[in-house]
Structure formats: structure tokens, C-alpha cells
Amino acid sequence: MSDESRNGRSGQSNQSTMTKVFDQDNMFFRFMGVVFDLIQLNLLTLLCCLPIVTAGASLTAMHTVLWRMIRHEETYISRQFFASFKRNFKQATAVWAVLLLAIVVMTVDVFVTLQMPSGQRRMMFAFLALVGVLLVGFAQWYFPMLSRYENTVGGHAKNAASLAVGCFPRTLCEIVILVVFALAYMQWFVYVIPFIIILGITLPEYCCAWLYNPVFQRLDGEVDAKYRPIRRD
């Protein structure tokens, strides 16, 4: 083989390698694209959660973007986030107000429980932990459902409760993911503040979205006389 042929093939090989490295569809660029989308979404979610009362609408809007990302649909972070925030504000806030009240009551109960004898304290903490798991499990289905389907508040609440129980293994996995992240945040709070600001909410919820998305895909293919899912574009 002549030197010119070798050089020609070598040049083509190098060019092919460089093309793969800078190809926008390679694994690295896809991964970084997801990371940057999650960062932008996390900042929007935190910003819109700051008034506290708007947190429910913010979480709903976050899930609107997350399940689109999971399904590899065309995603416009800010536009879809604020469209969902505005559209679902009333229903999200109604349920969030109840959840927020429950959180306040449970926080007070924790301080009261700390003053109890050790035996009663263990029982009370176990009860509060159970209530907390139920609330988180419910919320993990309610806000994603609200972000995707049309229904009344009562209808969404009923379906969210049914899915939380009916898909208990998925619900449990979601709760474990959130608890692991929450414990890490509390353990190293000072050190992870930058991470919380950048990816603290959307990263664990992105993991949860991979768990609830197959359920929604089955729902999208079903027609129920009592409750028909309606895709929200």
C-alpha cells in the first residue's frame, strides 16, 4: 500500500473520529443536554416555590416538563413551565394548601413528641412517619397527573390515591429516592446548598419520572367510562 493511500485512510479515520466527538447526537452531548435542561428547570421551580403558596403549581409545572423530557418530546422549558403553571394554578394550589397545612401540623407534632416519654415518643414518630409516607406518595401521583390530564380536583385526588396504592412498588421506589436525597441534604446541608440550587429538586424527580411514566403510557392507551385521560399539549 502506498504512503498516499495510508495517509488518505488515516486522514479519513481521524476525520470520522472528530465527527463522532463533536456529533450533537452522541451520548455525551445528550447527557449534558439533559443536565442543562434539569438545571434550568430546577431554577424555575425554586423561584416559583419561593412564595410557598405557589409551590403546588410550581411542582405541577415541573412535572409537565419532566415527562416530556422522559418521552424525548420536543421541550421548551420556560414556555411549557409557565403555561402549565398558569393553567393548573387553581387545582394545584387547592391541594397544596391542604398538604401545607398537614406539614405544619406534623411539624408541631414533632416538637410535641420530643417532650413525650421514650415509649410514647417511638410510637408517635412511627405514626408521623407513616402519615408522611402517605402524603408524599399521594403528592407524587397527584401533581404529575394534574400536569397531564384534565379532571376535577376530587377526580385527580381519587385517581392519585388509587395509583399510589395500586402501583405501590413504584410509589415506594419514588419515596425511597426522595428520602435518600432528603437525608443527604440534611446531613451535608452547608456543602450541598449549591447542588440544591442547581439540581436539588429536578434530579430526584427526574428519577421518579422514569417510574411513573410507564403508568401514564398505559393510561394514555386506555378508555375508561368513568375517567378518560386527555393529553395536554
Taking the model in full, what pTM does it have?
A: 0.84
Give the pLDDT confidence of 127-151 residue by residue, as tens digits.
999 999 999 999 999 999 999 999 9
pLDDT of residue 127: 95
Q: What is the pLDDT of residues 151-162, one digit of tens each?
A: 999 999 999 999
Question: If you ran DSSP here, which 8-state letter would residue 115 be given?
Answer: T
Amino acid at 6: R
Domain assignments of the chain as residue spans, ordered by start: 26-220
Q: How confident is the model at residue 63 (pLDDT cuts 50, 70, 90)?
A: very high
- Contacts of residue 191, defined as CB under 8 A and 6 or more positions apart, other chains included, come to none
Q: What are phi and psi of 195, to 5 degrees?
A: -65, -40
